[in-house]
Amino acid sequence: MTAPTNERPMCPDCKHRMALARISPRPRGFDERTFECSTCNRTEVVRFPVDPMQTDAVGWLAGELKPPQ
């Protein structure tokens, strides 16, 4: 299942908007978002790419990585 990061998906069963239930961190660069439908109780899990500027990868850009000495 794919959806834009700023939009709640439609329930495939009843066609109502699903609510974001939780966000779980996954492998670097991704979040796993669980959506639930309050009408029919269906649950959908979707992986979303995360903006690297908002993750721990920022340390690389801020000079955390240095050449060997």
This model's pTM is above 0.85: no
Give the Cα separation of 26 and 24 in Å (integer).
Answer: 6
- Nearest to 5, CA basis, from 16, 41, 23, 36: 23
Per-residue model confidence as pLDDT tens digits over 6-48: 678 999 999 999 999 999 887 777 889 999 999 999 999 988 8
Give the Cα separation of 11 and 29 in Å (integer).
Answer: 26
Give the Cα separation of 26 and 43 in Å (integer).
Answer: 18
Which pLDDT value is given to residue 30?
A: 84
